[in-house]
Copies of this chain bind each other. A is one copy, B any other.
C-alpha cells in the first residue's frame, strides 16, 4: 500500500499534464476542481520517502505494456473521494502509529469519512445474523441444540427462506434477478411501506446499491452527449459511474440556505443549459435522504420532481438507501414510487428506479453487499436488456439477497425476537439522532462554520468560511482549501473527514463531510479535538 502515496502525487500530476488537452469538455468541468497533488504536510514526509519495496516503479519498467497513457481515459477521469487521497494518508498514519506512537499528537485514527457503522463498533442486529448463519449451515436446523442457541422466529424464517430457494441450495447461482421467493418478500415489504402494489418481477437484487447504479448508467449512457442530472453536492458514486460510462454529469445545485432545498427552477435551468449544449439528458438522480447533505425532501417537493421527470421525459433514479434513517419528527420518508402512484402516474407514465441497500438503515450491514433496485415504467424490450446485463454477472450473493429480504420484513409483534429486535433498532436510531444533534451543535459553534441539521442519512456537511490566508496557503500547496483543511485536521487530530470538493459544491464555498457514526463515547473527544484544531487553524490563518 505504501506505493499509493508518492505514485498518486506523481502519477496524477503527470496525468494531468499529459491528458488535459486531449479531453473533450464535459459538465464535470463545471464542478469545483479538486487539486490533486499531495500537499507536503510535515509529519507525512517521512512516510512518503520510504517506497523502496515498490514492486514495479514507473521508471524502471518501461517494457511493461500498460501505461497511464494507454489505459481507458474514462478510468483516469473517474474520482472517488470517499476512499481517496485523505483515506490513503489516514491508513498510512494508522500503520505508522503502531511503531511510532510518540510521533503524533493522537493515539488513534477516527474514521468519519464513510458510512460504515459496524467498522466503528455498531453491532449487527442479532435476528438477521441468526437467520444468515442458519441458512449458511442449514444442517444446524436438524440439531436439537440449535433451539437453545437461536430464537424460534429465526429458525422459522430460515426454514421459510430455504423453502424459497430451489433445492434449498444456498450455494447455487440464483435467477439473475435474485431468488423469486425473496423478491416476493421484498415486494410485500414495499407494498406495506407504500400502500401501493409492488411486483417481484420489478426487483433486481444486487451486491449493494453500487452495481445497480452502474447498471442503469451503462444502460442510459452511450457517449458524452448523454447527460444525467445530479445534485451538487452528490455522493461520488454518481460522478464516478457517469465518468466510467462516458456520459456527462449535468449538475443541479442544492440550496444550502434553505436546508439543501431542491428547486424545480434550478432543475429547469440546468436542463435547458445542457440541452443548449447538445446534451440529451436521460435521467435525474435524487438522493433522499440526502448524501452528503442529510436533508429529507418534503412530500410536495417530491410531487414536483415526479411531475418534472414525467413532463421532461427523464428517468427518475431515486437513491433511497437511507429510507430508514430519518431523525427529525417533522420529516418522514416517502418513496418516489409512492409519490408517483399517489399522483396517479402508473407504469406507463413514468420510468422510475429506486435503489435500496442493506448497508444503511439501522442495520448497516455494509460487508454483506446486499441491495436491490425496483425498476418500473420501462418497456418490456428495454427491461429485457436490463435482465441481460444482470445475467452477464449471473446473480448477486445469496447472503446479501437473504439479508435484503430480512430488512424489508423484520420481526413482527409477537415474534420471539421482536422485543429484543426493537431495543436494538431503536437504540441505534435514537443514538444516531443524538450524535447528529451533538455534532451539528458543535460544528455550528466553530468560528466561521455553519451546518444544516442532519434530518436523515448519516452525515453532516458543514460549510467553512475560510480566511483568505488559509486559501492562499492551500493554493501555494496546489491543493483545494477544503482538502488543505481536512489534511491539517487529520494530521493534528487523527480525525478523517472528506473535503467538500469530493462531492461538488458551489464554486468558492468550502465544506467537509463528517459521518455521525462514531460511537457515543467517542463523540466528546471528537468534538474537543475538532474544536481545538479549528481554533488553532483560524488563529494561524486569521486575516
For chain A, the count of residues having a C-beta within 8 Å of the partner chain is 122
Type the 1/0 row for A6-23, where 1 means its CB is closer than 8 Å to any CB of B: 011011001100000000
Chain B residues in 8 Å Cβ range of A395 = 367, 369
The reply to whether the CB of A379 lies closer than 8 angstroms to some CB of chain B is yes
Known A65-B314, A118-B172, A169-B118; judge A367-B397 contact (CB<8 A): yes
> In this complex, what residue of B is CB-closest to A121?
B167
Chain A stretch 339-391: residues in CB contact (< 8 A) with chain B? 347-349, 351, 359, 364-369, 376-385, 387-389, 391
Chain B residues in 8 Å Cβ range of A129 = 136-137
Known A71-B220, A385-B76; judge A56-B394 contact (CB<8 A): no
Pair A171/B379 contact, Cβ less than 8 Å:
no
Known A365-B171, A399-B136; judge A394-B208 contact (CB<8 A): yes
Pair A56/B167 contact, Cβ less than 8 Å:
no
Report the Cα distance A451→B16, complex, angstroms. 55
Chain B residues in 8 Å Cβ range of A393 = 207-208, 210-211, 214
The reply to whether the CB of A3 lies closer than 8 angstroms to some CB of chain B is yes
Q: Which of B66, B74, B211, B240 contacts A378 (CB 8 A)?
A: B66
Chain A stretch 19-66: residues in CB contact (< 8 A) with chain B? 54-58, 60-61, 63-66
Type the 1/0 row for A63-102, where 1 means its CB is closer than 8 Å to any CB of B: 1111110111111101110011000000000000000000
Q: Which of B124, B140, B348, B382 contacts A66 (CB 8 A)?
A: B382
Binds B, one of A145-153, A288-296, A322-330, A441-449: A145-153
Known A72-B220, A129-B137; judge A83-B199 contact (CB<8 A): no
Chain B residues in 8 Å Cβ range of A63 = 348-349
A to B CB contacts below 8 Å, 10 in the list: A64-B378, A65-B351, A71-B219, A73-B222, A83-B394, A129-B136, A172-B366, A173-B367, A210-B393, A397-B399
Report the Cα distance A388→B78, complex, angstroms. 8
Type the 1/0 row for A420-439, where 1 means its CB is closer than 8 Å to any CB of B: 00000000000000000000
> In this complex, what residue of B is CB-closest to A138?
B129
Chain B residues in 8 Å Cβ range of A174 = 367
Most buried by B among A76, A80, A211: A80
Known A207-B207, A367-B397; judge A65-B380 contact (CB<8 A): no
Most buried by B among A76, A132, A394: A394
State how many angstroms separate the Cβ of A466 from the closest Cβ of chain B.
28
> In this complex, what residue of B is CB-closest to A382?
B66
> In this complex, what residue of B is CB-closest to A366?
B173
> In this complex, what residue of B is CB-closest to A202?
B55
The reply to whether the CB of A188 lies closer than 8 angstroms to some CB of chain B is no
Chain B residues in 8 Å Cβ range of A382 = 66-68, 71
Pair A201/B1 contact, Cβ less than 8 Å:
yes
Chain B residues in 8 Å Cβ range of A201 = 1, 55
The reply to whether the CB of A400 lies closer than 8 angstroms to some CB of chain B is yes
Most buried by B among A73, A140, A385: A385
State how many angstroms separate the Cβ of A355 from the closest Cβ of chain B.
14
State how many angstroms separate the Cβ of A378 from the closest Cβ of chain B.
6
Q: 3 closest pairs, A vs B, by CB? A: A11-B381, A133-B137, A119-B172
The reply to whether the CB of A398 lies closer than 8 angstroms to some CB of chain B is yes
Chain B residues in 8 Å Cβ range of A74 = 218, 222
Pair B118/A171 contact, Cβ less than 8 Å:
yes
- Beyond known contacts A132-B137, A207-B369, A397-B397: 18 more, CB 8 A cutoff: A14-B381, A55-B347, A61-B348, A65-B313, A65-B314, A70-B282, A72-B222, A76-B385, A118-B170, A118-B171, A124-B170, A133-B136, A172-B367, A210-B392, A214-B393, A218-B244, A240-B392, A241-B392
Chain B residues in 8 Å Cβ range of A396 = 207, 369
> In this complex, what residue of B is CB-closest to A14?
B381
Q: Which of B222, B314, B368, B380 contacts A11 (CB 8 A)?
A: B380
Known A118-B171, A173-B367; judge A348-B60 contact (CB<8 A): yes
> In this complex, what residue of B is CB-closest to A391?
B83
Pair B381/A7 contact, Cβ less than 8 Å:
yes
